[in-house]
Amino acid sequence: MSHAKIDRLLQLMQYLSSTTFYTDPEIADKLTISDRTVRRYCRSFREARFGMVTMPGQIHRLVTMDERVPNQQELLRFTPEEASILGRLIGCMTDDNQLKHTLLVKLSAIYDCANLCEVFVKKEMEMTVQRLQEAIKKKKQVTLKGYCSASSDARKDYLIEPYKLDVNFVTVIGYDVACSVNKTFKLARIGEVELLDTDWTCHKEHQVPVLDAFRMSGNATHVRLALSWRARNLMIEEYPMSEKSLFYEEGKWFFDGEVRDLKGIGRFVMGLAADIEIVEGEALRQYVATACADAAEKFSRADAASQE
C-alpha cells in the first residue's frame, strides 16, 4: 500500500467520524479522488467490520464496531507480524505528517510505550530511547554525548533533564541545565545517552514548547502569504495543521497566522517561490532574501570552480 493511499484512508476515517457530516462528493473533493473511490473505501471499512451507516444525501458515517464482534478490543490487537507490517507502513510517512503523529498517539493509548518502541524504533536507536524513557520515569538527568547540532557539524555534550519523549520517537524535550533553557533534541543526532544518578533539580522550569503549523518552536511572528492553488494544496499535504490558518478571498488563497521559527516556513516558501507571495512579515521576507542570496553565491562559486 502506497504512502499516499495510507494518507487518504486515514483522512477519510477522520471525515467519516467527524462531528461535521460530509457528503461523498465533498469528501472526494477534499481528498482529490472520485465519488466512486470514496464508496469503495467505505465498503472496505464494512468488510473490515467497522460500523458504517448510510444516510440520505450520499452521506456515510463511521460509527461503533460491528455488534457481531464479541470483543471489540480484539480488533485493535496485533500479532507480532501484523505489528511489524504496520510499523513499516507508518514509517513510510514523513515525520512532519500530522496523521502519522495522530495514529501513533492512538496506538500509544492501547500499547505501552515499550511495545511501541519495539515496533517503530530502529535497532540502533533502541538503547537511546530506553535510557531516555528510564530517565523520564525516574526523573533523572542524562548526558547526551556527541550531539550533532543542526546549525553546525560540531558535536557537543549536553547535560539535560529529559521530560517529554515524542510519541513517534523522533525528538525528546529536555531542560538544558547549562543554558537554563528548554530545548528539543533530535534522537537521530544523539551519539549516546548516559543515564546519571542525579535527580532533576529544575523540574519547575520544565515547559513543553508550543509548536507552529510547521512543527517549529520559538518566539511567535505573524506572517501572511498569498498562495496559488498548488502551494495551498502542498502546504496542507506537508503540514496538515496549517489548514486552520488558510482562507480563500477574492480569487486567492491566503495563509495568515503565527510562526515560531522562520526556518520551517522559510524552507516552504523558498521551495515554491513562484507560487507564493509574502504579503506581511518583513522578518520572513528578509530571511528568504538572505537565504536565497547565500545559496546563489554558493552555487556561483561552485560553478566558477568547476570551470577552472
Does the domain formed by 121-205 have CATH 3.60.110.10?
no
Q: 14-63 pLDDT, tens per residue?
A: 888 776 778 888 888 888 888 888 888 888 877 776 777 777 777 877 76
Lowest mean pLDDT among 23-27, 77-81, 146-150: 77-81
225-235: average pLDDT: 93
CATH number of 3-77: 1.10.10.10
CB-based contacts of 37-42 (< 8 A; 24+ apart in sequence):
38/12, 41/8, 41/9, 41/12, 42/16
Q: Is there a contact between 141 and 159 (Cβ–Cβ < 8 Å)? A: yes
25's grid cell: 462528493
Q: Is there a contact between 141 and 161 (Cβ–Cβ < 8 Å)? A: yes
Which pLDDT score is estimated for 188?
85
Band (pLDDT 50/70/90 cuts) for residue 126 is confident
Q: To which H or E segment does residue 191 belong?
A: none
Distances (CA, A) of 119 to 10, 21, 186: 20, 35, 19
Measured CA to CA, the distance from residue 92 to residue 80 in angstroms comes to 19
Which pLDDT score is estimated for 67?
45
140's grid cell: 533523572
Distances (CA, A) of 129 to 125, 145, 166, 206, 308: 6, 14, 10, 20, 49
Which pLDDT score is estimated for 259?
94
**Whole-prediction pTM:** 0.49
Distances (CA, A) of 95 to 72, 91, 102, 152, 215: 30, 9, 11, 22, 10
CATH 1.10.10.10 region(s) of the chain?
A: 3-77
DSSP state string for 67-126? TT-S-GGGGG---HHHHHHHHHHHHTS-TT-HHHHHHHHHHHTTS-HHHHHHHHS-GGGH
Measured CA to CA, the distance from residue 175 to residue 44 in angstroms comes to 47
Measured CA to CA, the distance from residue 181 to residue 199 in angstroms comes to 17
Mean pLDDT score across all residues of the chain:
80
245's grid cell: 490558518
106-126: average pLDDT: 56
Lowest mean pLDDT among 29-38, 116-125, 271-280: 116-125
Per the DSSP assignment, residues forming a β-bridge with 194 are: 143
What is the C-alpha R_g of the chain? 23
CATH 2.30.30.140 region(s) of the chain?
A: 121-205
